Structure 1
């Protein structure tokens, strides 16, 4: 009897929720889509693309834009409308949108070069990409591509990979070593797997059917909506469980990749092939949301991957002029040590922490691209930080794992060395869960003395058509592998390149171990090695200011992307005048960070819902209506 009564109550609750949803939908046009009355113009009032200009290869000219250093005079040369902390793509996209609306924006970057994970560095005649090893498809017209075009004057171009986008080597360097190639294109990977594993056809179809359900356009829309809608409104929706009732993104998002794959297929290699992309989130498949896997699959596999022509630094290099055109500045070597508040309201930032040299810069709006951990736990006084709805998450969601980054300069062309544009994933086993468990349980000493369990290999030289003319007869590769910050924490706080002989010896041992494995798989590289540099989580901590050297700021686990936590990870901080942008608002990845800037700009410009409509209208004028359901966002 009790259960029957409870069931009726729950059924009634759902019915009330649906009625409320209809009512709110009726109010949507009248309340949410009314014309903005603010003083700022629309960033999408007109098409701001200009004819494509030649690639700038003069390093001195690029450095004039990318390395302009902070000075007290430059910082206080005018009255700023907004200050952005950090020059990652989230910070730059927010700054560019606000600038196009007419605001004067000051961007402050701690590093000597702007761009965050989009920056590149040069050493010994080689250029290395630190974070953008590939991006999802920016070849076909989507809202994401239109957004990027409008904040960069249409000056960023991409080279598309061929249909064989990735290569997996399983049980590497063992007698049972085998390889698989991942094919891109609509339904291409699904059809490829059905051909390779015909006995598992039904399970494969079911798995990809679930991915399509999760991605269906209301999926990304629901993910963004809970970040834009007022929090009180989202809480009402959640009380009636409407996000999960109305969007498969949230219902399927509660399922893990591991559990879904296990329920669909039996073949060991097939399970691996369906699960391996979860490594991109730096958490095991049993903690990766199926919905986030769906976004990754559609973005990078259904329509292929690509690479920015001229390298990842083209992104900041082409966006900065848009910011400066409206009177803004992007200044490097500007270490923001504190967000200034007065009577519970943000009034500016403090640059530097030494009494004689610190500079206070004032603005009514401050946008943090420094990560929520750094902002709430480091830049704000605790009494102010606790006012943020995201404050409870600081104890719930930790930082991501760190990475080893091995940067290798090679004599010869990619073709001579047998390197292609494919990303290569190399695993010592074919059991992904076991591999991750082994990696987690290893000590630093065990890592040095045994082969690395898994690593990722990428060559920007092979992906970028402009590379041959910029660096003839030279090639680079980047090698990545996940590691613990704690393995290197003894040297934390010491100046970079001055951490001592024992730290340098440890890096040398890591370098030797990994390069032995790489040259076994690629024998042509052995005699071509000209330069090697090892970056540890301490490197990321220093240059990218991520907490504990984590690659992505906040961990991308299963629970983070539910409607409750997604709603709290929003641009609005809950503190007057302070806003968030970047990975923590959305997720890792270039396109996601780009859209975090869009969400942040929407709220600051008081176009919370209108701005997406304005972007859509401009996109429609330029490219027509989207042809398919996957042509909206990613």
Structure 2
């Protein structure tokens, strides 16, 4: 009986939703995408877009929304709302827009801060369609070589190199060649990848439908009956890997995208999703990572909004009824109040709830309950190196190199993160080496004769905590020598694989968790935001971790909503815009995707007929 009642309700709800959607104007259209224009190489013109400083006079009138933070999640939400006719103001505390997508230039070298590469940008892919919409087609990508990643395991001097290839069939076939005794395990993992990729939208839907309905579907078992994705999201990666094979090297392949959580504490679904993300190719933005915020900002401006930097938000304003109605921006000694009916925070759940909300709101049980669902993520440490030499002279490659000192990731990570502050620098167990200048064909045009390298690893915030109250670039000799111990260890490791680097090095800087906190406002230096532990991805936790918050009119966007990385943050922005607009914008993206596929099929058919004539 209860099932019959539920089905009747679903039919009524679906009918009402359909009627509601049909009356909503679409923020996305095929017609809004135009051919990409030439790259803007004039830095002064770029700075007018990316470095527009905050003043009272630049605040647009009659705002519909304020976005705190200009990372890709906040910018995506802002651009989507702008295209829906909303006037949006994005406020960025740094002196350049973009968050982890911004770049900085030192001594003539340009460095990415957080973007390494994109996946799922093949023609008419959903992510490609979304990026085309929020940049109106002005963002171009370069497809990287099929061998986009190398995994190197150097266990007690016994080095093993594994190539990871993109390709619908090539990725799986290549791993079978590497592991001929584990063909069945590879096939089973790729089945998991397939289920994850095809059904991941079910977890997104949980965040868009009413929470009571989402929880009912999960607790009643109906959701599990519909798809295995709801059980898979809460499956322990190590347990799944052990069930598939005893080969530890293959375990590393299944979980090599490290984000600070060991496989035994992470979701198999997320690891599978990350690998699948590059199955159809790896891509890099033509012109560098800053092209992303550069082109999104122009879309926001086109619709009457603005992106202002040097605008640190010090407080979210909440009225006596508990509803957010604006923010205060610290401008010198003055606190400027800006009001809007919607406030979107893209600076992470911990910064939002623990620093920006008034103290009396922070302590409310419903706020604490949301905070209890998350825990702070591991911090990142990056080394930026510049070389006076070309890619050919250095023998560097567009392929990213993932280095591991052991094939037991759980033991390796547990041991490292339990080390003392003094032990850690010389015992780094894993690192990512990437050469942005080798990925971008315009790099030599913009920075002739120069190359750059970024090395990333994960660290404990506590190792750097003693310098938290010092000022950037004035943290003292002890701090400098300590961070350079990490940097030297990582650079030496890179030189073992690319020996020509050392003689051509002319610039090097290291970014610690404190650096990330200063420039990116990352909580405890975690550029991947809140911890991606297993509990976060239980289906019920996914349903409760939503864009809307216990504070009326306040919404969350970015990596804390769905998952880490640029693509994860972008989807966080789309989910946020859907919540604010009360309209699932994914429907429009899917319709555009279908329309583009039909158009391509029609063109192919027309071309085939012409050849026959």
Matched, 1:68 2:52: yes
Distance apart, 1:175 and its partner CA: 3.7
Distance apart, 1:168 and its partner CA: 1.4
Give me the whole-angstrom Cα distance separating, in 2, the residues matched to 1:31 and 1:71: 44
* 2:168–2:280 CA contact under 8 A, matched in 1: yes
What does residue 607 of structure 2 align with? none
What does residue 622 of structure 1 align with? 596
Distance apart, 1:434 and its partner CA: 2.1
What does residue 587 of structure 2 align with? 613
Matched, 1:186 2:160: no
- In structure 2, relative to structure 1, the CA distance for the partners of 1:287 and 1:624 (3 Å cut) is farther
Distance apart, 1:322 and its partner CA: 0.8
- In structure 2, relative to structure 1, the CA distance for the partners of 1:208 and 1:622 (3 Å cut) is closer
Give me the whole-angstrom Cα distance separating, in 2, the residues matched to 1:143 and 1:208: 21
What does residue 27 of structure 1 align with? 12
Give me the whole-angstrom Cα distance separating, in 2, the residues matched to 1:23 and 1:388: 35
Distance apart, 1:327 and its partner CA: 1.1
What does residue 51 of structure 1 align with? 35
User: For structure 1, which segment, 582-591 or 198-207, has the greater mean C-alpha deviation from structure 2 after superposition?
Assistant: 198-207
- In structure 2, relative to structure 1, the CA distance for the partners of 1:139 and 1:36 (3 Å cut) is closer
What does residue 411 of structure 1 align with? 388
Give me the whole-angstrom Cα distance separating, in 2, the residues matched to 1:303 and 1:387: 46
Distance apart, 1:206 and its partner CA: 2.1
Alignment of 1:494-573 (within 5 A): 494-573=470-549
* 2:149–2:401 CA contact under 8 A, matched in 1: yes
What SS does structure 1 have at the residue aligned with 2:423?
helix
* 1:142–1:626 CA contact under 8 A, matched in 2: no
Distance apart, 1:138 and its partner CA: 1.0
Please give the per-residue CA displacement for 1:451-493, whole angstroms capped at 9, x wherever unaligned. 4221110000111111121111110000011111000001113
What SS does structure 2 have at the residue aligned with 1:262?
helix
What does residue 97 of structure 2 align with? 114
What does residue 404 of structure 2 align with? 427
Distance apart, 1:36 and its partner CA: 4.6
- Which of the residues 456, 465, 468 maps onto 2:444? 468
Please give the per-residue CA displacement for 1:293-340, whole angstroms capped at 9, x wherever unaligned. 22212112x212111111111110001111111111100011101110
What does residue 9 of structure 1 align with? none
What SS does structure 2 have at the residue aligned with 1:151?
helix
Distance apart, 1:25 and its partner CA: 4.2
* 2:164–2:175 CA contact under 8 A, matched in 1: no
Give me the whole-angstrom Cα distance separating, in 1, the residues matched to 2:22 and 2:334: 42
- In structure 2, relative to structure 1, the CA distance for the partners of 1:548 and 1:296 (3 Å cut) is same
* 1:419–1:459 CA contact under 8 A, matched in 2: yes
Distance apart, 1:96 and its partner CA: 0.7
Give me the whole-angstrom Cα distance separating, in 1, the residues matched to 2:388 and 2:244: 46
* 1:540–1:551 CA contact under 8 A, matched in 2: yes
Distance apart, 1:270 and its partner CA: 2.3
Give me the whole-angstrom Cα distance separating, in 2, the residues matched to 1:192 and 1:168: 13
* 1:70–1:334 CA contact under 8 A, matched in 2: yes
Distance apart, 1:185 and its partner CA: 1.0
Distance apart, 1:194 and its partner CA: 2.1
Give me the whole-angstrom Cα distance separating, in 1, the residues matched to 2:108 and 2:596: 41
What does residue 273 of structure 2 align with? 295
Instruction: Specify every segment of 5 or more residues in structure 2 that has no aligned partner in the other structure, as ranges.
Output: 602-613
Distance apart, 1:389 and its partner CA: 5.2
What SS does structure 2 have at the residue aligned with 1:168?
strand
TM-score by length of 2: 0.93
User: For structure 1, which segment, 191-200 or 248-257, has the greater mean C-alpha deviation from structure 2 after superposition?
Assistant: 191-200
Give me the whole-angstrom Cα distance separating, in 2, the residues matched to 1:362 and 1:123: 37
Give me the whole-angstrom Cα distance separating, in 2, the residues matched to 1:396 and 1:235: 15
* 1:337–1:353 CA contact under 8 A, matched in 2: no
Give me the whole-angstrom Cα distance separating, in 2, the residues matched to 1:24 and 1:525: 65
Aligned structure 1 segments of 4 or more residues deviating by more than 6 angstroms: none
* 1:458–1:478 CA contact under 8 A, matched in 2: yes
Matched, 1:248 2:228: yes
What does residue 7 of structure 1 align with? none
* 2:78–2:90 CA contact under 8 A, matched in 1: yes
Matched, 1:394 2:379: no
- In structure 2, relative to structure 1, the CA distance for the partners of 1:626 and 1:596 (3 Å cut) is farther
Give me the whole-angstrom Cα distance separating, in 1, the residues matched to 2:171 and 2:456: 24
What SS does structure 1 have at the residue aligned with 2:334?
coil
- Which of the residues 379, 384, 397 maps onto 2:356? 379
What does residue 125 of structure 1 align with? 108
Distance apart, 1:353 and its partner CA: 8.0
- In structure 2, relative to structure 1, the CA distance for the partners of 1:417 and 1:397 (3 Å cut) is same
